[in-house]
Amino acid sequence: MLTNRIIIYFILIVAITACGNPKQLSSNEYIHWIEDSDNGLKKEKKLDDYQYKVLYKPADYIVFREIINSGAKAIDEEQVQKRINELANLYQFNFDVVSADGKTSVLQHNVSNQEEHAARINYFVSHAQQDFILVEGIDTMPCVLYHFEQTFGATPFNTISLGFERKNQKAEGDLQLIFTNRLFNTGDIKFAFPKKTINNIPKLKL
């Protein structure tokens, strides 16, 4: 009887500890973990002639990518933590629109004239922001940070960086990113990220 109780307490302690502290990963492991679609932060959907790829980017991930891109040789932990804190009030995503043939740019794929090309650029640069929303539980948030990366036809995809206001450090409900695609007439394109996944992302070990 006593042995059973000890085992139950032990399991409870392990479970509580495991839930409370997401594991820490080294930089390489961390990047792989975030970008591995099996872990639920990277999702994709093909509709009609286009593929839509979404990556949820935690603050640690963005900051580490910034460090890599800056070419810095030494890491100032204090500065890194400060930057992570700055980004902590946003849910951020990369949203890639890829043409299905994998060759032509999204802005040029199946485009018959210059006006159509200009209309696509105009849509993605000036209007698409209002077509993105993030639902967290029962709250709906508009897209407050939007940047469309122009590649001038060099890539068969275009990346859009998206940011939505975050009320708490922990997600309060399941997240659903919705893109009401008015350009390609596909209806709402949705990507779900369960609360459990968002709240259990490993931390970056510097």
Partner 1 sequence: MRKILPFILTAILSAVVSVLVIIIVFKPAQNKTGYVQLGKVYDEFELSKTLNAQFKQIAGTKKNYIDSLEFQVKAIYTKVTNDKTNKDLQGQFEMAQRHYLYQKEQFEQSVGAMEEEYNDKIWKQLNEYVTQFGKEKGYDYVFGAEGSGTIMYGGETQDITNEVITYVNDKFQGK
Tokens representing 91 are 């849910």
CB contact set of 121 (below 8 Å; sequence gap of 6+) = 107, 150
Nearer to partner 1, 41 or 63 (CB): 41
The b/e string for 117-153 (b: 16+ C-beta within 10 A; e otherwise) is eeebeebbeeebbebbbbbbeeeebebeebebeeeee
188 binds partner 1 (CB under 8 A): yes
Nearer to partner 1, 43 or 83 (CB): 43
Stretch of 43-51, 70-78, 89-97, 107-115 lying at the interface with partner 1 (CB under 8 A): 43-51
User: Among residues 96, 183, 191, which one has the least CA distance to residue 134?
Assistant: 191
> How far apart are CB 185 and partner 1 at their closest, in Å?
6
185 binds partner 1 (CB under 8 A): yes
Binding-site size, partner 1 (CB under 8 A): 15
Nearer to partner 1, 40 or 202 (CB): 40
Tokens representing 104 are 């032509």
> How far apart are CB 137 and partner 1 at their closest, in Å?
14
Tokens representing 157 are 């995809």
Nearer to partner 1, 45 or 83 (CB): 45
